[in-house]
Amino acid sequence: MKAIKIQPGGKAAVVDAPLPRLRPDYVLVKTVAVALNPVDWKHIGFVPGTEGCTAGSDFAGVVRKVGAKVTTLKPGDRVAGWTHGGNINNREDGSFADYVVAKEGIMLKIPERGVFRSGLDVIATCSPNNFSMVQSLGADAVFDYKSSTVGEDIRKLTHNRLYHVFDCVSTDESARICADALSNDVVERKPIYSAVLYCTFPRDDVQVNVTVAHTIFGESFTKPELGPENFPANAEDYEFGKKFWKLSEKLLTEGMFQVHRPDIRSGGLEGVLEGLDELMRGKVSGKKLVYTLAAGGKTGAVKT
């Protein structure tokens, strides 16, 4: 099969690779399409020690084989899910390949349609040209993240009562915006700031959390970019992950999901490399790059 493997020097290439081994609680999926995330090119360009790892996180496809301990899936099921791409502990994990191994419970069966809405009041930041799109996805208020007063403007809108922020960017600049937006009234309760990477948060009266989503696989792993410590297997997070994906499948079936506009492209794994390069250069906005996979093709590399 073909797979995108991380190469030395912050590059990636489409190469020949053996089928990933089927672990007892995993399924083997024939990949039909993959979607791209910023973390995928960051695994290639910034994370040390990932040479030889398969890149990619999101996938959709058809189950071909199931592991000995799998009870909820069978060959022929259409599924979509998430993998631990760039995993230095299991280098064959990752979705940018003709075949994917994916853990039972961390995926959903594909129904006919999907839309999502949240029961929370959601405030989002984005570029002004994406305001209407983000509002159509369910955001109650949208702000320009490049505005010098965006944090203060959010605090004013929320009457100094914003206590939860999830920072998907997690840079020092985005942390500053979140610090300005979160309530400074900490008598009743302490505001919570959650990031996906370690960054400098400029307030000491806020609870700071770093969310490492890969704990939902319930397996130990190492993230060199987050320090030398090993993340131990977390059975509680795996149980939560299974509940999350089961609920997601239910909501998807009921038509309760709404998603970023997909930009569906052909080009197979070579096209994925081009898309990763676009993501890295900041050329993708307001949409999700999705590539359908086809057999064959030449090798290529992400430009760095």
Could you give the 3-state DSSP secondary structure of residue 44?
Answer: helix
**Cα–Cα distance list, 6 to 119, 223, 230 (Å):** 40, 15, 21
C-alpha separations of 129 from 62, 141, 211, 288, 291 in Å: 37, 14, 29, 16, 25
Q: In what order do the strands lie in the sheet with 164-167?
A: 164-167, 192-195, 207-210
Q: Which residues of the chain have pLDDT under 70?
A: 112-120, 294-304
Please enumerate in sequence order all residues whose Cβ is within 8 A of that of 151, keeping only pairs 6 or more positions apart, or say none.
Answer: 176, 177, 178, 179, 180, 181
Q: Is 231 helix (H, G, I), strand (E, B) or coil?
A: strand
For residue 27, the model assigns a pLDDT of 98
Domains along the sequence of the chain with CATH: 2-114+243-292 (3.90.180.10), 123-211 (3.40.50.720)
Q: Tell me what pLDDT residue 253 has.
A: 86
CA distance 108 to 163: 31
CB 27 within 8 A of CB 70: yes
Residue 119 has a pLDDT of 56
Q: Which pLDDT does position 4 carry in this prediction?
A: 97
The pTM of the full predicted model, rounded to 2 decimals, is: 0.71
Query: pLDDT value at position 294?
Result: 56
